[in-house]
Structure 1
Amino acid sequence: MRDTIVLTMMLLSIFTFGQSKSGAKQFWENLQKQCGKSFEGVVTEGAENDTFRSKTLIMHIRNCSENTIRIPFFVGEDKSRTWVLNYRNDHIQLKHDHRHEDGSEDKVTQYGGTAPNSGSATLQLFPADQKTCDLIPAAAANVWWITLEETSFTYNLRRIGSDRLFTVKFDLTKTVSTPAAPWGWQD
């Protein structure tokens, strides 16, 4: 009888383990639920003279496919920034797509990193990748992270070994009007 109970518990454990989703998958699915929505944010960490503080900050979770989510991030009238998240092999990658008003790529674009593990349902961490190190040598010590909670989304940057820290927090309980397309996109 005892052996049957132990075997049943082992099988139940294997079955339950096989059914649970990884942190990356849960994060991805929760972010996709926000697709199409726009939210206003505020700088909660950063230099006091940061020019972002005096502008309206809007993120629009604009484009979601099975493996890519594009989130334009508007700073006032500046529509040059899009966060591009890619989901592959149970890891999430963050890239920064920067464009000029005419839609052409900025010379400093496509930098970021890939999460070294599946992370959690509420936190994904992205250390700078080699492309970033080559493109922006000072950013070799950058770590970005995104938190996704029921009521908020935060985008964060820390440059290890310096006092550089930037956080913008978006309130997911209050949608705002959808902005026009970012630079380089078609409506």
Structure 2
Amino acid sequence: MTLKHTLYLIVLLLTIPMVSQEKSPSETFWATLQSHCGNAYEGTLALPEEDEAFGGKRLVMHLRACSENEIKIPFYVGDDKSRTWILTMNEGILTLKHDHRHEDGTEDDITLYGGTASNVGKSDFQFFPADAYTQKMLPAAATNVWWITIDETTFTYNLKRLGTDRVFKVVMDLTKSIEAPEAPWGWKK
């Protein structure tokens, strides 16, 4: 190879944009969630063991609506179809919001609270401290932290209100997809 050809090759290589094949932990987490899109799963309440609102009721999540930057996961508690977890991806950082609806589809007064991850997290664990919107809407929730874990067999949704005994954990079984439930309240289809 001549010097001219070598220099040409070096210049060519330097002008080709380098694309990293490695995903960030949040992108891997997102891809794992996306792989379940369209599926519904049943789960159990792990904490608190005795809970009036959730205890003894059928718990189902449905990864119902997925796009490149948003995943909507209705969460059904018995016949209550008021809750949807909304995860969004923006520049590699995830946000979790809680959409609450009445049976007629109108927004609850307490809706769209949540938080944004402070970093890319881990590929199987994302952490969401309460944001300013949440703190303003629900001052008692200013110390809320939510986290979601996912692996080959389970998805967990967790809540801890720091400085209190408030804790909540639901464990969903990803090994068995179930029939998709009806649309949650406020959804057209």
| Fold equivalence (TM over 0.5) | yes
Answer yes or no: is 1:124 the counterpart of 2:126.
yes
What is the letter of the counterpart of residue 150 of structure 2? L
Percent identity (aligned): 55
Given candidates 160, 166, 179, the residue that maps to 1:158 is 160
More helix by share: 1
1:108 aligns with 2:127: no
Secondary structure at the aligned position of 1:140 is classed as helix
Quote how far apart the aligned CAs of 1:50 are.
3.5
Secondary structure at 1:27 match in 2: helix
TM score, norm. by length of structure 2:
0.88
Unpaired runs of 5+ in structure 2? 1-17
- Which ranges in structure 1 are unaligned for 5 or more consecutive residues? 1-15
Q: What per-residue deviation string (whole Å, max 9, x for no partner) do you get for residues 46-101 of structure 1?
A: 15233311110000000000000000000000000000000001100000000001
Q: What TM-score, normalized to structure 1?
A: 0.89
1:175 Cα deviation (Å)? 1.1
Q: Which residue is equivalent to 2:36?
A: 34
Partner of 1:90: 92
Partner SS, residue 19 of structure 1:
coil
Q: Does 1:62 align with 2:52?
A: no
Partner Cα distance (1:122, 1:45) in 2: 20
Q: Runs of 4 or more off by more than 6 Å in structure 1?
A: none
Confirm or deny: 8 A CA contact 2:49 2:55 kept in the other structure: no
When the two chains are superposed, the root-mean-square deviation of aligned CA atoms in Å is 1.3
For 1:58 and 1:48, the matched residues in 2 are separated by 18
Greater gyration radius: 2
2:23 alignment partner, one of 18, 21, 24: 21
Residue identity opposite 1:72 in structure 2:
P
- Listed as ranges, the matches of 1:74-85 within 5 Å are 74-85=76-87
